[in-house]
A = this chain, B = another copy of it.
Amino acid sequence: MSRVRLAVIGLGRMGRIHAANLAQRRRSAELVVVADTYPGRAASVGAEHDVPWTTDIDHVLADDSVQAVVIATPTGTHPGLAVQAAQAGKHVFCEKPIALDRQTTVETISAVDQTGVSFQVGFHRRFDPDWVAVVDRIRAGELGRPYLFRTSLRDRKPPPVEFLQGSGGFFVDVTIHDLDTARWMIGEIVEVTAYGTAVADPAIGEIGDIDTALVVLRFENDALGVIDNSRAAGYGYECSTEVMGEHATARIDRPQHLHYQWLTPGQAAHSVNADFEQRYPVAYAEELTAFAQCIRNGTTPKVTGLDALAAFDLATAADASWRTGQTISLSPGHCQEGVVYQLEVPRL
């Protein structure tokens, strides 16, 4: 069975990771062309992986040999590209978030949906072997009823302020991953309360954003959850999760990319991961492999547009909570227009 042929559009950091993974010909997927508006960047990535490159998206979409596209451009361009690609008959893998506002997100999902192509969103943690193993055991009943969910996502250093200004805000840019993980591991969420502070970098506070946050969740099944996020953990990149339950507690640890201890008088030290590339070499590859398998098998992707919308709604709720100081109550429900979470009036 031949591999699904993919193009990567947008060759920033995530795009280059995707291109490198596809260039290695995964079990079911392979790279056929890369595209970026900067010709230098496109050319260099193309040369690195020995594939054609272009600066013209239309060129990619007109190429019949391209079955699917990976969209890793700046968020603002996601909706237009996703719809354009879908309408050209290409399956779409899109980095999160789909768009910076809800209306556009819903319209994009809807427009892509009408074309009938596969649509997967880049929540890579759903494909990481550690999280997958824990979720499998939870689903198998080994953990029992969940009592408490706790997760950390932290970056070593904040990105430049210019990036933050177009990021959609802290909760949509960072917390959205944890919100998706929370729904996936525990279930739907009925209350969100968010707390933020710009304690690490005053420049972030000056643009009205935050660098450190706590988000408290109450789940439909009465469990509580807490997310902590930071853009300035200093020591490195952290992504760890704990689920405490009736029969067992699962802790996803902090794997190291190097596994040695260095002992000097009085002390043992080991390295910690610097960034998401060091933590997730498998997950980023697996999410594209899985996407290609869905295309080959005609099955639904593990992370759909509606999952992305739900996480977006929850991130928006977190943002609203942070801005108003109020808990946001939510009524999870599948509406006609594909809305998963409908925000209600904040309780007063």
Q: Residues of A at under 8 Å CB distance from B?
A: 2-3, 23-26, 50, 129-130, 133-134, 137, 142, 145, 147-148, 150, 154, 156, 193, 195-200, 212-214, 216, 218, 221-224, 226, 228, 230, 232-236, 244-272, 274, 325, 327, 347-348
Contacts and interface: CB of A to CB of B under 8 A. Distances in A.
Contact of A249 (B3, B233, B244, B256): B233
Given A224-B213, A348-B348, A235 B258 contact: no
Counted per complex, copies of this chain come to: 4
A229 to B, nearest CB: 9
Contacts of A137: 262
Nearest to A268: B272
B265 A271 contact: no
A214 B234 contact: no
Contact of A262 (B23, B250, B325): B250
Nearest to A218: B195
Contacts of A147: 197, 199-200, 212, 230, 232
Contacts of A226: 214, 216, 226, 228
Which residue of A25, A268, A325 has the most chain B CB atoms within 10 A of its CB atom?
A: A268
Contacts of A246: 200, 234
A129 B257 contact: yes
A197 B224 contact: yes
B222 A199 contact: yes
B252 A259 contact: yes
Contacts of A198: 222
B216 A266 contact: no
